[in-house]
Amino acid sequence: MSAKLKPLSEQVMVITGASSGIGLATARTAAKSGVSVVLVARNEDALREIEQEIISAGGEAMYVVADVSFRSDLEQVARAAVDRFGRIDSWVNNAGLSIWGKLEEVSEDDHRRLFDVNFWGVVNGSLVAAPYLKRQGGALINLGSEVSDVAIPIQGMYAASKHAVKGFTDALRIELEEEGAPISVTLVKPASIDTPFPQHAKNYTGKAPKLPPPVYQPEAVAKAILHAATHPTRDIFVGGAGKMVSTLNKLVPRIVDWVNEKVIIKEHFQDKPAEHRQGALYQAGDDGRVRGDYPGHVRRRSMYTTAVRHPVAASLCLAAAGVAMAAAINVEMHKNESP
């Protein structure tokens, strides 16, 4: 049975991690398209303000305070959504956090807490949502990352959690398809996105964090999520750089390792001390903002992601990105050669 996806103007959508960043950008964009939005996060003050903002603009919204690491919290979210709107048409598992620090330096408790949010949060949301989506069909959309395919240093356990999210999402998709469930299961894999993500991360390094370039605006991810809510899609990269690195990692993994060692570690930091070292790992952060404080150029859109609906155009974008990456690697390798 194929997935039955409604137009956005007829949908009820649950969004976890809706109090900032990608989740907030998605909620605002969805509401403007006529979606009835169910906002989910830990920060009640921020959720209340966002709900009122959407309603004041003529949209429909409600919020439920929840910690995605507890399945009982998300069961409450589902019941509240159905009580209010009568159904759930799309469920977006977006909530996620990171830790800046080498794997050996991070405590076991912090590693486990990160997995509770990033991995078990997706598992809990998916398994709670599935019975509701089976009733009339719908979309389950999980937020992975470009590091679902490629490991990175400094955020090692974050990368591990996103690898786990990919494995779980792919397995669940197969099981639902075999069953004939009318559910589309999509993994969205963003590249670096300018959100408060670095500031919400727990930081062991003492240096102000940042994401490696290229960096894209959160709205690019929101558009990909809404595309997945209306078009059955297996996975979507947001940012041609992510697709390119994933492809290179399959073809020349040692070169990608070299780039991580020589380039990416340095790109994780700004030249100033950290201000928010505890982050939002255990308690809600300073929410209500879509954008972060990335100090460099932020790309408004991803040409690759825009071209995904047109395979030939997407291939050309990827080929061009590959040429650019090869040139950059060549320059860096020559810089590091012994005289």
Catalytic residues: 158
Beta-sheet pairing, 207-209 with 269-273: antiparallel
Which tokens hold the place of 241?
């750089």
- Locate 108 and state its tokens: 């076991």
Please state the φ and ψ torsions of residue 299, each to the nearest 5 degrees. -80, 135
- Contact predicate 43/222, CB 8 Å: no
Secondary structure letter of residue 279 according to DSSP: T
Q: DSSP for 143-169?
A: E--GGGTS--SSSHHHHHHHHHHHHHH
Q: Are strands 90-93 and 138-143 parallel, antiparallel or unpaired?
A: parallel
How far is residue 227's CA from residue 180's CA, in Å, rounded to a whole number? 22
CA 188 to CA 163: how far, in whole Å? Answer: 13
Helix (H) / strand (E) containing 283 = none
Cα distance between the two ends of the chain: 63
Q: Strand pairing of 183-190 and 99-100?
A: unpaired
Distance CA 291, CA 196 (A): 6
In terms of DSSP H, where are the helices of the chain? 21-32, 44-56, 71-85, 108-118, 120-136, 156-179, 197-200, 218-230, 240-251, 253-259, 303-306, 311-335
178/248 Cα distance (integer angstroms): 32
